[in-house]
Structure 1
């Protein structure tokens, strides 16, 4: 669905149908998806260029699509190391085919909630030096984690394992309107047969960053995070947004 919204070719008829239905239920979803991808690109570029980060763990990466993490990071530092983490075997097969000639980027099949399993995975241990700073990416994925699995605890586990000077990048679907949150959450739970989390409030997502040093401009709607001059698509509805920011572990 995400690839379809971004104008890619790696999607199926069922993805296109579900995306069109989601756009009817939640106007502006495609603009939100484009803005989210551009936010990811800006965050990776800022961390690589301004903070010298050369290691990236992309949790819940999905199918590789246009201008992905490794492409941005390796434009800045060609030796940058990137691991994409997803629980879908199709992502593994497709990603490894695309990355066959890239020795410093890989895809692993794992449940991102299993922090120990991810960090002890042989392919992760081969590429990532956990004694050096790492950027942990949770871009438009934590709303897929139900409360029973505690996405805030997941973020804390990951950051506890990373070296000082590491970063976290988060974007998350939020709404402070109770009926909107319930309607969109119910829609996505139905569409995914219960394999989803929920749209959360801004204060709930803000709590994910407790104890970390936020980079300017702090937390907010992601198209406003260090804009690069490209006009941002206008989301038709402001009732729900992608909210997030970037923070550093001291």
Structure 2
């Protein structure tokens, strides 16, 4: 552990715990469930959207550990281990793969400590993904990841919690600049089509509710999300909704507006 964190506060909603509620987990409090329920009132399908994001993450890291041959992963804003996590999906393909998680939530940190005891190829760093210089210089990150070889950097449902004034594109540029040639990045981000459609209206309504309840969450346009990939080449099928990114089988359920409020992509640094 590279830092000490404040105690867990059960009276204030936490991003990680609210996502845990969306994914059907058990590591959250009443204050987090209240946020979850209020978002469901606006977009009843948002729980499914959260699950789709996790399914996408699993497919993406399987691709990275398999076909792309990546054996080291830096997962930023990793969240709570509600469903299958990066290290589990990766190490099923390559048991020797190294995974370093980074998060600044104290409950996530507690789970991170437990991970260290059960998996010697997995590490946890207490840190803020908005501070790339600090993360990249962390002794665990520099010791357990080989910065002379390609790696994968994961930003799953994280960057929409980085406010515009914190310059998410600049933050990503610093990470990408530090990555060795042949590395990959994987990003999922809440999406505002900004086209006057019912989907755009839902995005704005959901953003307003998240901001009122938690003071964080920005639905961004395709162009804004594309800016986070600068300096890389997005692999097929491009920047798409999570259910469109190399699905495991045919789409079997009808899609509604909320399903389209997340976009995902994987890209390679030349």
TM-score category of the 2 structures, normalised to the smaller one: over 0.9
The 8 Å contact of residues 173 and 240 in structure 1, kept in 2 or not, is answered as no
- CA RMSD in angstroms comes to 1.8
Deviation, structure 1 residue 89:
2.0
In structure 2, what is the equivalent of residue 43 of structure 1? 60
For the residue of structure 2 that corresponds to 1:191, the secondary structure is helix
Task: Say if 2:119 is the partner of 1:97.
Answer: no
The 8 Å contact of residues 45 and 73 in structure 1, kept in 2 or not, is answered as yes
Alpha-carbon distance change, 232 to 187 in structure 1, aligned in 2, over 3 angstroms: farther
In the alignment of these two chains, the number of paired residues is 248
Consecutive unaligned residues of structure 1, counting only runs of 5 or more, are: none
User: d(CA) in 2 for partners of 1:176 and 1:141?
Assistant: 19
For the residue of structure 2 that corresponds to 1:168, the secondary structure is strand
User: d(CA) in 1 for partners of 2:81 and 2:115?
Assistant: 8
Consecutive unaligned residues of structure 2, counting only runs of 5 or more, are: 1-17, 195-199
User: d(CA) in 1 for partners of 2:137 and 2:125?
Assistant: 12
Pairing 1:24-43 to 2, within 5 Å after superposition:
24-43=41-60
User: d(CA) in 2 for partners of 1:176 and 1:31?
Assistant: 19
User: d(CA) in 2 for partners of 1:213 and 1:60?
Assistant: 23
Structure 1 residue aligned with 2:128, among 97, 104, 111? Answer: 111
Deviation, structure 1 residue 116:
1.3
In structure 1, what is the equivalent of residue 245 of structure 2? 225
User: d(CA) in 2 for partners of 1:2 and 1:129?
Assistant: 31
In structure 1, what is the equivalent of residue 176 of structure 2? 159
User: d(CA) in 1 for partners of 2:91 and 2:253?
Assistant: 27
TM-score (norm 1): 0.93
Any idea what the Cα deviations from partners look like across 1:108-138, whole Å, max 9, x if unmatched?
A: 1111011111111111122111111111111
Deviation, structure 1 residue 232:
6.6
Alpha-carbon distance change, 240 to 76 in structure 1, aligned in 2, over 3 angstroms: closer
Deviation, structure 1 residue 33:
0.4
Alpha-carbon distance change, 148 to 234 in structure 1, aligned in 2, over 3 angstroms: farther
Pairing 1:185-204 to 2, within 5 Å after superposition:
185-192=207-214, 194=215, 196-204=216-224
In structure 2, what is the equivalent of residue 133 of structure 1? 150
Structure 2 residue aligned with 1:183, among 197, 202, 205? Answer: 205
